[in-house]
Chains A and B, each alone.
Chain A
Amino acid sequence: MKTLTLWIVVVAAVIGSGLSSAKPVIGQPAPSFSVADTRGNQVSLDDYAGKVVILEWTNHLCPFVEKHYASGNMQALQEKYTGEGVVWLSVISSAPGKQGHVSAQEADRLTTSRAAKPSRVLMDAAGTVGRLYAAKTTPHMYIIDSKGTLRYMGAIDSINSANVADIERATNYVEQGMTELLAGAVISKPVTRAYGCTVKY
């Protein structure tokens, strides 16, 4: 019997496209962007040269986002860091018709009703900024230092759950990273696996 000795090559289909070839890399300049906020102002990362910037991907209907807002955890972080002169940008990348897509007015109402304290809320319905940062989940968090270098990307904390009770037991990676960064230390966990809902591109 002749045995089939051909190597079989299978290449899985490329699912989706439009993923930018530039990738966010720790220790490299954070990808620059220009996108409108809820007030219609064009916001660019370059506007914040000299300041630490935190990016937060959000979708108010995602249970994992709800976990961190219903508990007040996200608002507390926003208040703490914006109070220290850090720029906090919440980014909404949900496409029109998808979960979490809101008008600028609705986004502002959500900020008010949840007593959220971001510096600005960015309207990224086209998903451009989301893809530039390879944001996968809501929440997905990034820290950019005052020189514009990407210093952290990943989860908000260490426990993948939608349960508010887990927040207290978890290590908050944003808080840990910010504490280390502001102390001039190396961020001990610069990359973690983000958890939550898929960003609704």
Chain B
Amino acid sequence: MGDGKGGYWRWMGWLAIACLSLPLQALTTEPVRQPHIRASLVSEVDSLIPGGTVTVGLLLQPDPDWHVYWRNPGDSGMPPRLNWDTPAGIDMGAIQWPFPQPIPVQHLMNFGYHDQVLLPVAVRVAESVPAGPVSLVAQASWLVCKETCVPGSARLELTLPVRAGAAVVDAQVAPLFRRARERQPQPLGLLGASAVAGGEAIAIDIYATQPVFDGAQRVEFIPATEDLVEYGEPAKLRWKKNRLSIEQPRALTFTRLPDSVEGLLVVDRRRAWLVKFKP
């Protein structure tokens, strides 16, 4: 994919344009190619602002039909990880995970991303950081799978200038960040919620402040809490306006209800709500 002659010249052309227009900085690290995946760091804007926050991201591009994982990978797999090394005064936030797709594997279930995915991270810059170039260094690791899996890791270094004034959004990468934002789960306001453990199944009832399930054709429950439900067993979901109930067999690893239940409710594969409550 794109690694033929045409892809090479297109890349070189793009690089030449990038060099002409941005003589000092690249907003994207050159993708590191590893078995079945490419990985790079991408910045949404052209500079870091003292006292401000901007967004960068880890762009993972698995081969067609290969996938990487969400923060709860499901029955197997491993989420991507980022370990940052940055200068004083620059703080990196946690990965802002876009909602994943359920990926069934035989009778088991994984949660991940089949296509390329941008994992955004906020960069907070202290007022005291002086102008000039800074390096954001990430040690990134991941597991990429189709039927079999290959672990990978790379050191990625993104250099950006610190300067006062307005940061300019890079039009090349803007769609990646827009898509990642559209797929961020939004916290669901709750009037009430409960989880009850039966002998075989877990019953969850959600009573939202807004009619977010009105007209929904499909709602999927993606648990973030582990050892609660058996991911690969069929979940029975019923919804109406602002109410939703879930019944799903207990996880084989279930021992007792946790202090906090957390998961995503994905509506029509377009929008995800984050629910978190004490059962």
- Interface residue A72 (Cβ < 8 Å from any Cβ of B): no
B107 near A63 with CB under 8 A, answer no
Q: Which residue of B lies closest to A5 (CB)?
A: B240
Instruction: Name the A residues within 8 Å of B240 (CB-CB).
Output: 5-8
Known: A7-B238, A191-B255. A197 touches B106 (CB 8 A): no
* Cβ distance A37 to chain B, nearest Cβ, rounded Å: 25
B78 near A98 with CB under 8 A, answer no
- Interface residue B227 (Cβ < 8 Å from any Cβ of A): yes
B252 near A99 with CB under 8 A, answer no
A9 near B238 with CB under 8 A, answer yes
A136 near B75 with CB under 8 A, answer yes
* B104, B145, B148: residue with the most chain A Cβ atoms closer than 10 Å: B148
A98 near B236 with CB under 8 A, answer no
Binds B, one of A38-46, A101-109, A156-164, A172-180: A156-164
B215 near A198 with CB under 8 A, answer no
Query: How long is the Cα–Cα vector from A61 to B148 in the complex, in angstroms?
Result: 9
A195 near B141 with CB under 8 A, answer no
Query: How long is the Cα–Cα vector from A14 to B109 in the complex, in angstroms?
Result: 11
- Interface residue A24 (Cβ < 8 Å from any Cβ of B): yes
Q: Which residue of B lies closest to A14 (CB)?
A: B234
Q: Which residue of B lies closest to A59 (CB)?
A: B148
* Cβ distance B44 to chain A, nearest Cβ, rounded Å: 29
Instruction: Name the B residues within 8 Å of A195 (CB-CB).
Output: 76, 78
Instruction: Name the A residues within 8 Å of B151 (CB-CB).
Output: 63, 161-163
A9, A23, A191, A193: which contacts B236 (Cβ < 8 A)?
A9
Classify the secondary structure of A's interface with B: loop
- Interface residue A113 (Cβ < 8 Å from any Cβ of B): no
Q: Which residue of B lies closest to A134 (CB)?
A: B252
Instruction: Name the B residues within 8 Å of A24 (CB-CB).
Output: 252
* Cβ distance B246 to chain A, nearest Cβ, rounded Å: 11
Query: How long is the Cα–Cα vector from A65 to B215 in the complex, in angstroms?
Result: 46
Instruction: Name the B residues within 8 Å of A98 (CB-CB).
Output: 147
Q: Which residue of B lies closest to A10 (CB)?
A: B237
Query: How long is the Cα–Cα vector from A16 to B236 in the complex, in angstroms?
Result: 17
A198 near B78 with CB under 8 A, answer no
Instruction: Name the A residues within 8 Å of B239 (CB-CB).
Output: 7-8
A5, A12, A17: which contacts B235 (Cβ < 8 A)?
A12
Instruction: Name the A residues within 8 Å of B141 (CB-CB).
Output: 161, 163
A18, A62, A134, A163: which contacts B149 (Cβ < 8 A)?
A62
Which residues of B (195-217) have their CB < 8 Å from a CB of A?
A: 215-216
Which residues of B (95-114) have their CB < 8 Å from a CB of A?
A: 104-110
Query: How long is the Cα–Cα vector from A136 to B108 in the complex, in angstroms?
Result: 8
Query: How long is the Cα–Cα vector from A58 to B235 in the complex, in angstroms?
Result: 30
Instruction: Name the A residues within 8 Å of B33 (CB-CB).
Output: none
Instruction: Name the B residues within 8 Å of A196 (CB-CB).
Output: 76
B147 near A193 with CB under 8 A, answer no
A198 near B105 with CB under 8 A, answer yes
* Cβ distance B277 to chain A, nearest Cβ, rounded Å: 22
B107, B149, B226, B252: which contacts A16 (Cβ < 8 A)?
B107
B106, B215, B216, B226: which contacts A201 (Cβ < 8 A)?
B106
- Interface residue A13 (Cβ < 8 Å from any Cβ of B): yes
Known: A61-B148, A191-B253. A161 touches B78 (CB 8 A): yes
Instruction: Name the A residues within 8 Å of B238 (CB-CB).
Output: 7-10
* Cβ distance A7 to chain B, nearest Cβ, rounded Å: 5
- Interface residue A137 (Cβ < 8 Å from any Cβ of B): yes
Q: Which residue of A lies closest to B254 (CB)?
A: A191
- Interface residue B169 (Cβ < 8 Å from any Cβ of A): no
Sample of 30 A–B contacts (CB below 8 Å): A4-B215, A7-B239, A8-B238, A8-B239, A9-B236, A12-B236, A15-B104, A15-B106, A15-B107, A16-B232, A17-B107, A19-B107, A23-B252, A136-B76, A153-B253, A161-B78, A162-B78, A162-B143, A191-B227, A191-B253, A193-B226, A193-B227, A195-B78, A197-B148, A198-B77, A198-B106, A198-B108, A198-B110, A200-B147, A201-B106
